[in-house]
């Protein structure tokens, strides 16, 4: 049978490749972004309570009302922005589904979407599968600073959307207030939409505040912001998230969402709604993960891998140019096979395969695992 692939250049993701390599060689897996510790016991008990009570049937397409109300309260507490729980929030089957559905809803064949690379690997395929045209803007090591005038120079009459990610995976940087204001100015008076990936919203360090599009009323009018309970509560396998957007955008999003997913698993939503009654469930996360970042930093002291600052997420980049001139994919594989620690090469996040001699390591691990990994990496 003759089948024409919509994604002819897509193979197995680097995350699957490196995790499989780690398993094969019994290496410490600091590649794929998932914690090796469990989610809060209280959350599991709350979810199980609703499961046992029979919350096993369809819930409203937009999500359990109690959960949407808890999110309104959280958003107001964190950003000061008032959201309508009925028309401006939709619970999704993870952040990736929210991102894909947002792109499928608003991007048509021939539309251009500006990506800021290195970019998380799900953006480009989603654009391509609906016939959109990704336009890459490359950030450069070691600062990875956005020049918004250069972004503006990429805008054409075909530009439909700009995708941002803060805190940023893989580089661990955060957008500042000046960045959001520049984006607001750039898009003012246009029909350009902003898709804002904010799944690491609570993983921001050193006392900084998360600069969400929700903080900027004019910018929010054209924005869709995506979040992940899996990233927030250490349960990536639950695949549950949500999207926030003004009602006129959410109305269109839900038209596609209802035929893509319709509604997300019921009892988990009820359990998360209960758990969110206590704001400490998320307000303590910056300190929790900063302690891990700082602990990992101490274990890496003396290593020839040179750290880049991690302002957010649970990732940190390391420059290996003092060790090898290899391409980063080759170095990452050799690091796994010969030295027992799996990482992600940063070039895979660039369309061009840009080589800055950087690897990404995940520090969402227990201290004993981070200590073991640090010892192996210091010996290289």
Is the pLDDT assigned to residue 11 strictly greater than 80?
A: no
Q: Is 149 within a domain?
A: yes
Contact 374, 28 (CB under 8 A): no
Assessment of whether the complete model's pTM goes beyond 0.95:
yes
The mean per-residue pLDDT over the stretch 349-376 comes to 97
pLDDT at 273: 98
The verdict on residue 128 lying in a domain is: yes
- Please state the separation of Cα 140 from the chain's center in Å: 20
Tell me what the mean pLDDT of segment 362-374 comes to.
Answer: 98
| Helices 65-79, 266-275: inter-axial angle, 10-degree rounding | 40
The pLDDT assigned to 51 comes to 97
Mean of pLDDT values over 6-23: 88
Helices and strands in the chain, H and E counts: 15, 13
Categorize the per-residue pLDDT at 9 as very low, low, confident or very high, splitting at 50, 70 and 90: confident
- Indicate if the pLDDT at residue 226 is higher than 80: yes
For residue 5, tell me if it sits in a domain: no
First and final C-alpha spacing in the chain: 50
The predicted model gives 210-233 an average pLDDT of 97
Please give the pLDDT value at position 19: 93
Burial class (CB in 10 A: 0-12, 13-18, 19+), 165: buried
Mean pLDDT of 149-153: 98
Q: What angle do CA 303, 304, 307 make, to 5 degrees?
A: 80
Nearest C-alpha neighbor of 121 from the set 378, 356, 345: 345
In the predicted structure, residue 192 carries a pLDDT above the cut 80: yes
User: Which helix (DSSP H) or strand (DSSP E) does residue 168 occupy?
Assistant: none
**Other C-beta atoms lying within 10 Å of the C-beta of residue 278:** 11
**Domain assignment present for 77:** yes
Would you state the pLDDT for residue 14? Answer: 87
Q: Say if residue 267 is in the same domain as residue 322.
A: no
Is residue 126 within 8 A of residue 104, CB to CB? The reply is: yes
Q: Are 293 and 335 found together in one domain?
A: yes
User: For position 293, what pLDDT does the model report?
Assistant: 98
Helical (H) or strand (E) element with 232: helix 229-232
The last residue of a domain, from among 222, 249, 278: 278
Q: Which one of 243, 278, 313 terminates a domain?
A: 278
Residue 316: give its domain's CATH number.
Answer: 3.90.1150.10
Asked if residue 255 and residue 316 are part of one domain, the reply reads: no
Mean pLDDT (the chain, rounded): 96
Instruction: State which residues form the domain around 254.
Output: 41-278
Same domain, 296 and 180: no
Report how many domains make up the chain. Answer: 2
* 290-299 pLDDT per residue, tens: 999 999 999 9
Place of tokens 């949407």: 68
- The answer to whether residue 325 sits within a structural domain is yes
Q: Are 133 and 161 in contact (CB under 8 A)?
A: no
- To which residue do tokens 């619970």 refer? 91
The pLDDT of residue 8: 87
pLDDT band at residue 285 under the 50/70/90 scheme = very high
CA–CA separation, 148 and 210 (whole Å): 19
CA gap 241, 251 in Å, rounded: 18
2 found inside a domain: no
Whether 330 and 369 have beta carbons less than 8 Å apart is answered as: no
CATH code, 241: 3.40.640.10
Final residue in a domain of this structure, among 278, 308, 342:
278
Q: Percentage of the chain with pLDDT > 90? A: 95
Is there a domain that residue 7 lies in?
A: no
pLDDT single digits (tens) 230-278 = 999 999 999 999 999 999 999 999 999 999 999 999 999 999 999 999 9
Lowest mean pLDDT among 10-19, 97-106, 309-318, 367-376: 10-19
| Banded model confidence at residue 13, pLDDT cuts 50, 70, 90 | confident
Are 274 and 291 in a shared domain? no
Does 167 share its domain with 272? yes
């Amino acid at each position: 049978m003759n089948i024409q692939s919509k994604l002819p250049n897509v193979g197995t993701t680097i995350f699957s490749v490196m995790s499989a390599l780690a398993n094969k060689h019994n290496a410490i897996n600091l590649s794929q972004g998932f914690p090796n510790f469990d989610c809060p016991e209280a959350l599991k008990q709350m979810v199980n309570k609703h499961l046992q009570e029979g919350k096993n049937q369809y819930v409203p397409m937009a999500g359990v009302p109690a959960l949407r109300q808890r999110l309104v309260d959280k958003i107001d507490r964190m950003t000061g922005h008032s959201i309508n729980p009925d028309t401006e929030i939709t619970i999704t089957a993870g952040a990736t589904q929210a991102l894909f559905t947002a792109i499928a809803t608003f991007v048509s064949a021939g539309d251009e979407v500006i990506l800021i690379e290195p970019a998380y690997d799900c953006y480009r395929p989603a654009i391509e599968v609906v016939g959109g045209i990704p336009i890459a803007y490359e950030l450069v090591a070691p600062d990875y600073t956005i020049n918004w005038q250069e972004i503006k120079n990429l805008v054409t009459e075909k530009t439909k959307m700009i995708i941002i990610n803060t805190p940023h995976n893989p580089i661990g940087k955060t957008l500042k207030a000046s960045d959001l204001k520049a984006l607001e100015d750039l898009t003012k008076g246009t029909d350009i939409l902003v898709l804002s990936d904010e799944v690491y919203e609570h993983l921001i360090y050193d006392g900084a505040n998360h600069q969400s599009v929700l903080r900027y009323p004019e910018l929010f009018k054209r924005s869709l912001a995506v979040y992940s309970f899996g990233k927030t509560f250490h349960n990536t396998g639950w695949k549950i998230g949500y999207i926030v957007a003004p009602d006129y955008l959410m109305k269109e999003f839900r038209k596609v969402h209802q035929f893509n997913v319709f509604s997300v698993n019921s009892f988990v939503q009820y359990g998360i709604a209960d758990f969110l009654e206590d704001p400490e469930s998320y307000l303590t996360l910056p300190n929790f993960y900063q302690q891990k970042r700082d602990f990992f930093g101490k274990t890496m002291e003396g290593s020839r891998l040179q750290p880049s600052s991690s302002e957010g997420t649970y990732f940190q980049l390391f420059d290996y140019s003092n060790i090898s001139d290899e391409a980063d994919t080759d170095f990452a594989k050799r690091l796994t096979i010969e030295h027992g620690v799996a990482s992600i090469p940063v070039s895979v996040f660039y369309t061009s395969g840009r080589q800055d001699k950087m690897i990404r390591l995940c520090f969402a691990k227990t201290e004993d695992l981070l200590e073991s990994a640090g010892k192996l990496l210091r010996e290289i």
